[in-house]
């Protein structure tokens, strides 16, 4: 187990299992919350991978094959915890428009930030850019300990405290947070059940350079076999997320480069001209689920450990970041008001808040996947007519774009635009 500080304590206030985007963001937000509440919480992150070793990218580095569409709400969170400037310094790619159309019809939906008086709809950011910025910040915080290189082997509740074993070390913590992804070890140890299903879809991801400019636009074509997205990166490159049947994804991954380019051009109707370059290809199986509970005794789940969805709307990590910001806010409020941070009342506030908010987005994205995933003639007609009608409906488009930018719903304070934070004037929301 490595700890760059070499002074690993054994007693923590909060231990986060899983240091991915959500776990690392939570640690930053908790560190801020504890200093706002004038308390020095001792926080640990445990992960079998040495995530703190991820180096910031330079202009000469290849693109990370894993990227995320980051909403305005998530940008506000990154700004509030002080990691956004480091991401911008590496590279972030704004998208100002979105084009959505389908193989089986002639209608198209177009969103334009200019029409909405917005400078952009969101950003496409490489996951390693976000992680390196988060860990750059976390390494500077003396009360956050990075316990990397070994997974947690056991967790046992003893007198309101979790006793953990990591490598050959025994640790104890008041609150345990499972941020350990869709296969969450913490969730399974607690026996928390999930509701969901496999989509029988695999997402093939890669980076391409196209002949024509992407025009800072996120493009998505719904094929009969699943959605294909081109997401704009810098220097004329685009990130591809091609969700399709597992056998087809495996064949596309194994195919020689020239054959793959031809398949991709055809699937995308060559909207951006020829494909000039292709990077390495990787595949990810896709699932949908919601955990039946987000909390247990002195435990909370955040991010993919609590919910996982199809990437077609680019919302998975954005919901996870909102979980992280909400949990930090509820804990800050507990500290200020002298409550125990691991009390059932405090954790229940978090669960009630995020379960309701996440469910509406998860269900909406699942419905879109089902609507576009059917070849039924009647539904195809309805879909086409619906898309034409929707394209004319400015108020409805505004509402959907608010959802897509993450600005809809009951947001945690640090996810709100400055003007909303100022107008509500709230220090901490009482829930
Ligand atoms: C192809 C694809 C495209 C996507 N695009 C988008 C997008 O555009 N926008 C968006 O919002 N979302 C997107 N998503 C979803 C997004 O990637 C996930 O929601 C996000 O990565 C979840 O982050 P997380 O930190 O919760 O979990 P993870 O990223 O899975 O991190 C979990 C961490 O826990 C660690 N861990 C696992 N087990 C243990 C253990 N036993 N002990 C300790 N640590 C452990 C792992 O090493 C890992 O570091 C996409 C997903 C896919 C598959």
- Strand 122-126 versus strand 93-95 pairing type: antiparallel
pLDDT at 41 over 70: yes
Same domain, 65 and 142: yes
Which pLDDT score is estimated for 1? 57
pLDDT digits (tens, 9 = 90+) for 175-186: 999 999 999 999
Same domain (yes/no): 313, 272? no
Shared domain check, 72 and 30 = yes
Is residue 389 in a domain? Answer: yes
Please state the atom number of ligand 1 nearest to the C-alpha of residue 205. Answer: 1
Task: Determine the 3-state secondary structure of 152 from DSSP.
Answer: strand
Protein residue with least CA distance to atom 31, ligand 1: 20
Contact yes or no for 129/20 (Cβ under 8 A) = no
Using the structure block, give the residue that is written with the tokens 């947001």: 411
- pLDDT above 50 for 429: no
Question: What is the pLDDT at residue 66?
Answer: 97
Tens-place pLDDT, residues 266-305:
999 999 999 999 999 999 999 999 999 999 999 999 999 9
Residue 104 resides in a domain = no
Phi, psi of 388 (to 5 degrees): -65, -45
The region of weakest confidence among 44-58, 244-258, 307-321, 387-401 is 387-401
**Span 90-117, pLDDT tens digits:** 999 999 999 988 887 777 888 888 877 8
Please state, in angstroms and rounded to a whole number, the distance separating the CA atoms of residues 208 and 229. Answer: 12
**C-beta 226 within 6 A of ligand 1:** no
Distance CA 179, CA 22 (A): 7
pLDDT at residue number 300: 98
Q: What CATH number is attached to the domain comprising 352? A: 3.50.50.60
Among residues 266, 286, 306, which one ends one of the domains?
286
Judged against a pLDDT cut of 90, whether residue 366 lies above it is answered with: no
* Distance of alpha carbon 417 from alpha carbon 119, whole angstroms: 14
* Overall residue count recorded for the chain in this entry: 431
Residues 223 and 75 in one domain: no
Q: Are 127 and 68 in contact (CB under 8 A)?
A: yes
Q: Which atom of ligand 1 is nearest to the CA of 151?
A: 42
Q: Quote the domain boundaries for residue 78.
A: 11-91+126-196+287-424
- Cα 254 to Cα 317: distance, rounded to the nearest angstrom: 28
The reply to whether 280 and 343 lie within a common domain is no
Does the predicted model carry a pTM greater than 0.75? yes
The verdict on the CB of residue 52 being under 6 Å from ligand 1 is no
Closest protein CA for atom 48 of ligand 1: 20
28/23 Cα distance (integer angstroms): 9
Burial of residue 362, with CB atoms counted within 10 A of its CB: 0-12 exposed, 13-18 middle, 19 or more buried: buried
Residues 6+ apart with CB under 8 A from 419: none
- pLDDT tens figures, 371-390: 666 666 666 666 666 666 66
In a domain, 40, yes or no: yes
Tell me, what's the pLDDT at 301?
98
Here the tokens at position 211 are: 């002949």
Please report the pLDDT score of residue 376 as a whole number. 63
Region 71-97 average pLDDT: 97
User: Which has the closest alpha carbon to 342: 302, 297, 306, 303?
Assistant: 297
Average pLDDT over residues 145-173: 94
Q: Is the pLDDT of residue 215 over 50?
A: yes
The structural domain count of the chain equals 2
Final residue in a domain of this structure, among 239, 255, 286: 286
Last residue of a domain, one of 239, 271, 286: 286
Q: Are residues 176 and 87 part of one domain?
A: yes
pLDDT for position 425: 41
Cβ–Cβ contacts within 10 Å for residue 115, how many?
A: 13
Q: Is the CB of 361 under 6 A from ligand 1?
A: no
How many angstroms separate the alpha carbon of residue 6 from the centre of ligand 1? 28
Greater confidence (407 vs 326) lies with 326
Q: Is 406 in the pocket of ligand 1 (CB under 6 A)?
A: no
CB neighbour class for 5 (10 Å; exposed up to 12, middle 13-18, buried from 19): exposed
pLDDT above 60: residue 428: no
Q: Give the pLDDT confidence score for residue 400 in this predicted structure.
A: 77
- The mean predicted confidence, pLDDT, of the chain is 90
CA of 18 to the centre of ligand 1 (A): 9
Residues 245 and 339 in one domain: no
Task: Tell me, yes or no, whether 3 lies in a domain.
Answer: no
Pocket mutation for ligand 1, best pick of 311, 313, 320, 369 (most atoms within 8 Å of C-beta): 311
Average pLDDT score over residue span 4-17: 82
- Contact criterion met (CB below 8 Å) for 146 and 3: yes
């Amino acid at each position: 187990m490595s700890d760059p500080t070499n002074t690993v304590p054994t007693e923590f206030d909060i231990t986060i299992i899983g240091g991915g985007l959500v776990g690392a963001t939570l640690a930053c937000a908790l560190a801020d919350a504890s200093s706002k509440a004038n308390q020095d919480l001792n926080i640990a992150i445990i992960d079998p991978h040495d995530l703190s070793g991820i180096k910031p990218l330079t202009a000469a580095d290849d693109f990370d094959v894993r990227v995320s569409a980051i909403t305005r709400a998530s940008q506000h969170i990154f700004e509030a915890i002080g990691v956004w400037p480091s991401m911008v310094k590496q590279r972030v790619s704004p998208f100002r428009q979105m084009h959505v159309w389908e193989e089986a019809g002639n209608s198209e939906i177009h969103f334009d930030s200019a029409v909405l008086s917005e400078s952009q709809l969101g950003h496409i950011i490489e996951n390693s850019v976000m992680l390196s910025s988060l860990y750059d910040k976390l390494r500077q915080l003396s009360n956050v300990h990075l316990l990397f290189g070994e997974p947690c082997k056991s967790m046992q509740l003893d007198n309101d405290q979790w006793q953990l074993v990591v490598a050959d070390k025994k640790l104890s913590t008041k609150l345990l947070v499972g941020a350990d992804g869709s296969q969450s070890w913490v969730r399974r140890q607690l026996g928390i059940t999930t509701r969901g299903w496999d989509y029988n879809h695999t997402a093939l991801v890669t980076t391409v350079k196209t002949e024509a400019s992407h025009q800072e636009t996120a493009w998505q074509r719904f094929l009969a076999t699943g959605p294909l997205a081109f997401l704009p990166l810098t220097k004329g490159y685009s990130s591809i997320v091609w969700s399709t049947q597992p056998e087809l994804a495996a064949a596309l991954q194994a195919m020689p480069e020239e054959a793959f380019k031809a398949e991709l051009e055809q699937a995308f109707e060559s909207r951006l001209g020829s494909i000039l370059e292709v990077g390495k290809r990787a595949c990810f199986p896709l699932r949908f689920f919601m955990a039946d509970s987000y909390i247990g005794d002195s435990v909370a789940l955040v991010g993919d450990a609590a919910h996982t969805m199809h990437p077609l709307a680019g919302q998975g990590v954005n919901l996870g970041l909102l979980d992280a910001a909400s949990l930090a806010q509820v804990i800050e409020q507990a500290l200020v008001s002298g409550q125990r941070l691991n009390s059932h009342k405090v954790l229940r506030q978090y669960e009630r808040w995020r379960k309701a908010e996440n469910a509406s987005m998860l269900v909406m994205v699942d419905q879109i996947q089902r609507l576009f995933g059917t070849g039924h003639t009647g539904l195809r007609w309805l879909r086409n007519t619906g898309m034409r009608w929707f394209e004319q409906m400015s108020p409805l488009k505004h509402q959907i774009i608010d959802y897509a930018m993450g600005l809809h719903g009951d947001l945690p304070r640090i996810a709100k635009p400055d003007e909303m934070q100022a107008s509500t004037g709230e220090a901490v929301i009482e829930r």
